[in-house]
Amino acid sequence: MNICRPQIDIPPWTEEAKNIYIGSKDMKWQDRRPTAYWKGNPDVGSDVRVELLKCNVSDQHNWGAEIFRQVSVMNRGRVFVFVNLN
């Protein structure tokens, strides 16, 4: 059985949108460092996610990507993810 469950702890959109708006006032877009950010589980049978890990910073390349493997803990057959975006 395929059970859909959230991978990260994201607050309601109204709260998150307000936080994004407030945070965007801290620095002008022109002054920001161009960065792509992804946090997730590449071990879900997706070749694209596995390939994405190759874009992370290495000694040879810095594509401006910050790629993080999300860690979860299995407990009683359920996945509990310890991630807070705030």
Distances from the Cα of 51 to the Cα of 4, 18, 48, 72, 79, angstroms:
23, 33, 5, 21, 24
pLDDT at 84: 57
pLDDT tens sequence across 41-74: 888 878 888 888 888 888 888 888 888 887 665 5
Catalogue the E-assigned strands of 41-77.
65-69, 72-75
Does the structure show a pLDDT above 90 at 18?
yes
Q: Which amino acid does the sequence have at 19? A: N
Residue 74 is assigned to a structural domain of this protein: yes
Residue 46 is assigned to a structural domain of this protein: yes
Structural domain count, the chain: 1
**Residue with the two structure tokens 């460092």:** 33
Residue 50 is assigned to a structural domain of this protein: yes
Residue 53 is assigned to a structural domain of this protein: yes
Domain limits at 43? 34-86
Query: Which comes out higher in pLDDT, residue 27 or 81?
Result: 27
Residue 12 is assigned to a structural domain of this protein: no
pLDDT at 33: 83
Does the structure show a pLDDT above 80 at 7?
no
Residue 68 is assigned to a structural domain of this protein: yes
Instruction: For the full predicted model, state whether its pTM sits above 0.75.
Output: no
